[in-house]
A and B are shown apart, each in its own frame.
Chain A
Amino acid sequence: DTGVSQDPRHKITKRGQNVTFRCDPISEHNRLYWYRQTLGQGPEFLTYFQNEAQLEKSRLLSDRFSAERPKGSFSTLEIQRTEQGDSAMYLCASSQFGTTNTGELFFGEGSRLTVL
């Protein structure tokens, strides 16, 4: 296992289009997180899953954003009707929650979205 992988690494789209990002976590990890990072800022929490259940969503996650983790493995983050303000780096992270929980999140390299 080579870690958390995200696809695509960079997406350029026109305003109003829909985009979807995929995240493949570390295989044995049961928790998966999405964060958004804009230039000069730290990552901001969007949502997280434990297995296939979405346990928490930030108020940053407007109704144009939807995330799924249908089989408790990979996850997708879809943004509908993109706006220029959606331009950011979208980060995925995973962790193992349980008796050996260390609190550490393992991050992917991110998917950069540019909305023209």
Chain B
Amino acid sequence: GNSVTQMEGPVTLSEEAFLTINCTYTATGYPSLFWYVQYPGEGLQLLLKATKADDKGSNKGFEATYRKETTSFHLEKGSVQVSDSAVYFCALRGGSEKLVFGKGTKLTVNP
């Protein structure tokens, strides 16, 4: 079945550091890929998405590129801020309408 594996945390960075959170997937066909973020005390919200190979999703300075050859969708940001502290979830949607999530990576950014 479909599955997502993402880098285990927690990840602790200083402000303005470069961020990478790795995500790889297993799926049949051509899934859509997503990154969701959960800020403290809030619900999950979509951060960015890509629906086909080589697409790049971007939002709020975050980027991720859909790499079919490596079945990856790594999340990157060039300069993190304290306000980026949250839990990040990689997810995919395959033939079914349901989203399959990774376990989440907790990011803490210190000033």
Contact = CB atoms under 8 A, between A and B. Distances in A.
A112 to B, nearest CB: 12
Most B C-beta atoms less than 10 A away, residue of A42, A43, A56, A104? A42
Nearest to B46: A104
A102 B34 CA distance: 11
Interface string A32-48: 01000000111111001
A45 B93 CA distance: 11
Contacts, number: 57
B103 A56 contact: no
A109 B46 CA distance: 14
Given A43-B44, A108-B43, A109-B43, A103 B98 contact: no
22 contacts: A3-B43, A4-B43, A31-B97, A33-B98, A40-B103, A40-B104, A41-B103, A45-B98, A45-B100, A48-B98, A55-B97, A56-B98, A58-B98, A97-B97, A102-B49, A103-B49, A104-B34, A107-B36, A107-B43, A107-B44, A109-B41, A110-B43
Interface string A84-109: 00000001010001000011111111
A44 B97 CA distance: 13
B43 A105 contact: no
B32 A42 contact: no
Contacts of B19: none
Interface in B51-99: 51, 89, 91, 93, 96-99
Contacts of A93: 44
A96 B97 CA distance: 12
A108 B100 CA distance: 17
* Residue of B51, B101, B102 with most chain A CB atoms under a 10 A cut-off: B101
A109 B89 contact: no
Given A103-B34, A103-B93, A107-B44, A45 B99 contact: yes
